[in-house]
Amino acid sequence: MFLLEKEKLKRLIDVSAGRVPADTVIKNCKIVDVYNATIIEGDIAIYDDLIAGIGEYNGTKEWDAQGKYASPGLIDSHVHIESSYVSPEEFGRMVIPHGTTTIIADAHEIANVHGITGLEYMIDAGKKTKLAIKWMLPSCVPATPFEHAGAVIDAKAMNAPLSSGNFLGLGEFMDFPGVIHADDAVVDKLIAAKNHGIPIDGHSPAIVKNDLNAYVAAGIHTDHECSAKEEMLSKIARGMYALMREGSACHDLRKLLKGVTSANSRRCLLCTDDCQPKTIMELGHLENHLRICVEEGLSGITAIQMASLNAAECYGLADRGAIAPGLRADIVLFDDLQQFHTQQVWIAGKLTAENGAYLPSFERHSISSVQGALHIGDFSKEKLALTIHAEKAHAIEILSGGVVTRKKIVDVHRNEQDEFVYQPEQDLVKIVVIERHHDTGYASAGLLSGYGIKHGAIAISIAHDSHNVITTGVNDEDMAFAVEQLALQEGGVILVKDGKILESMPLPIAGLMSNQSGEWVDRKLQAIHEAAHRVLGVNRDVEPIMTLCFMSLPVIPELKLTDSGLFDVTQFKFIPIEAD
């Protein structure tokens, strides 16, 4: 191996010096120099999987860029593949033609269902794509002790995965109260990561002052939960990298760009977090972020820095992030630096996508180890009952444009048994979370406002982050039917009305992902969205599925529902449904 590497290095030097032809030369480029924030006109020489040089070169193969802009491959600094509802190899096929060559992926969704087995599936499936997937070991499985997940990964269980070489760092630390209050189990996880010398991702929505100081002092150096410019600047001031998010449910980028300056832009990264096929097919992937950056007044070069060099430096990826000799040959050709239409994509020196098409052969990994993950044998319609011993109650109010909710006090209608009764004139419905991993029979009901559903019911097996079953609707019969049919189709999404299925999307991979193509998922989602809005009456300004699946996440303010009860995130405790 040493001799082979020595010969490769000698050959690289020869190609760089111009003594021997390059394997491939991309001629006549406008090269985006992310170090000097300028443009260099010339050629890019490639040897094997590396960039040999920039300047004037000849090669065995030559590609005329015809003056197009050559950018480093784009890096999504934080993404959950599972939230795209497609498998890792399919996700790679979808995003590479948009210029994304590397992603920092946190598979805590499937880890909360299948634990280490789920992570092993993701890693193996990810090897089937040319996309470079850098995995972060999930830090919070479960996300909090206030819900029931399918697995537990504690500090002791982290040692073997961290020693395996399969993980770049520790995934987002959502249990921010545990960090701030130096909880023993949390500190053990932080120490495990520190002992391996790896970066730790953050998740600290609305954390300020000394609490933020404590969170950062613990060794956490990124955050993707900023929702306002001032919050982002406060975190950058404390040494954090700001991961500016633009996904399918959360649209924070434009707000945060107002805080980006020439002085702090190198501490800013771009990420999607959660991104559905519909978004990718209609808007693109990271090149859509680049467009938004330019629309908001940044230069195209600064935007590319945030999507390449900044991310590489943040995560210690010294072999990529720029177009320079000796770096990995991940290169994207754009028509211009305003619209960022992606023409060609090279990954590790190979032309991998052209004019929107993924070029390599495609092969799927077996899903047998993570199939069939709905265990709700103890479920019955009676589990859906919601008893309220007061005229007023706490409700989860959906706020448009994100997954943050408001704690709302509402008037409720009840029957003689004090059970909640839906009223068509009131935008208030029942929402129920049902444990689906261990047949425990745990279920908890609450109230949802702002969703708008007026007919039937919806049930999903995607419920961040423990991924229990969520159902909401206007009557118990349809809600129960939806849950039962969801189990029969091995999870996913189902819409019903009057005891009949309107639309469904099976997700047999852990109840989170499809084994079909992104195009198939997109068609299904479009049909589901249309039926949810047109037939069931869900508000048009609400993304009906991704919004619903965040209603159980007890680490994003203000009020959420887990299978254990109604949870006030600001107080970090369960509260009664009844309001004073």
* CB-neighbour burial class of residue 369 (10 A; exposed 0-12, middle 13-18, buried 19+): middle
Q: Does any domain span residue 338?
A: no
Would you say residue 65 lies in a domain? no
Evaluate whether 136 touches 224 at the Cβ level (below 8 Å).
no
375 plus 302 within the same structural domain: no
User: Which of 321, 347, 362 marks a domain boundary?
Assistant: 321
Cβ atoms < 10 Å from Cβ of 489 = 18
Residue 133: inside a domain = yes
pTM value is 0.93
Residues with Cβ within 8 Å of 523's Cβ and at least 6 positions away in sequence, in order, are none
Cβ proximity of 256 and 281 under 8 Å = no
* Residues 299 and 380 occupy one common structural domain: no
Is 26 a domain residue? Answer: no
Residue 54 placed within a domain: no
Tokens of 398: 């959906």
CATH of the domain at 137: 3.20.20.140
Residues 429 and 313 in one domain: no
Cα angle at 472 between 275 and 518, to 5 degrees?
Answer: 25
89 and 171 fall within a common domain: yes
* Total of domains in the chain: 2
| Domain match, 264 and 407 both | no
Nearest-10 Cα torsion for 498, 499, 503, 509: 150
Query: Within this chain, do residues 436 and 523 fall inside the same structural domain, yes or no?
Result: yes
In a domain, 6, yes or no: no
In a domain, 379, yes or no: yes
- Which candidate, 97, 135, 99, places its Cα nearest to that of 116? 135
- How far does Cα 193 stand from its chain's mean position? 21
Contact partners, residue 166, CB within 8 Å, separation at least 6? 123, 135
391 and 267 inside one domain: no
Q: Within this chain, do residues 247 and 389 fall inside the same structural domain, yes or no?
A: no
DSSP result, 523-550 = HHHHHHHHHHHHTS---TTS-HHHHHHT
Please indicate, yes or no, whether residues 404 and 285 belong to a single structural domain of this protein. Answer: no
Q: For position 249, what pLDDT does the model report?
A: 76
Instruction: Please give the pLDDT value at position 1.
Output: 37
Q: Which of residues 321, 355, 381 is at a domain's end?
A: 321
Please give the structure tokens belonging to residue 385: 């009952």
Last residue of a domain, one of 321, 338, 361: 321
CA distance 167 to 542: 35
Asked if residue 431 and residue 286 are part of one domain, the reply reads: no
- Domain holding 550, by residue range, is 371-574
Same domain, 424 and 297: no
Query: Tokens at residue 540, please?
Result: 């048009």
Look at residue 512 in the predicted model and tell me its pLDDT: 97
Give the integer Cα–Cα distance in Å for 89 and 125.
6
pLDDT in tens, the chain (580 residues): 355 689 999 999 999 999 999 999 999 999 999 999 999 999 999 999 999 999 999 999 999 999 999 999 999 999 999 999 999 999 999 999 999 999 999 999 999 999 999 999 999 999 999 999 999 999 989 877 889 999 999 999 999 999 999 999 999 998 898 999 999 999 999 999 999 999 999 999 889 999 999 999 999 999 999 989 999 999 999 999 999 999 987 889 999 999 999 999 999 999 999 998 989 999 999 999 999 999 999 999 999 999 999 999 999 999 999 999 999 999 999 999 999 999 999 999 999 999 999 999 999 999 999 998 799 988 999 999 999 999 999 999 998 766 789 999 999 999 999 999 999 999 999 999 999 999 999 999 999 999 999 999 999 999 998 999 999 999 999 999 999 999 999 999 999 999 999 999 999 999 999 999 999 999 999 999 999 999 999 999 998 998 999 999 988 889 999 999 999 998 989 999 999 7
Token pair of 356 as six digits: 């929107």
Place of tokens 């029979």: 441
Evaluate whether residue 27 is within a structural domain.
Answer: no
- My answer on whether 164 and 223 are in the same domain is yes
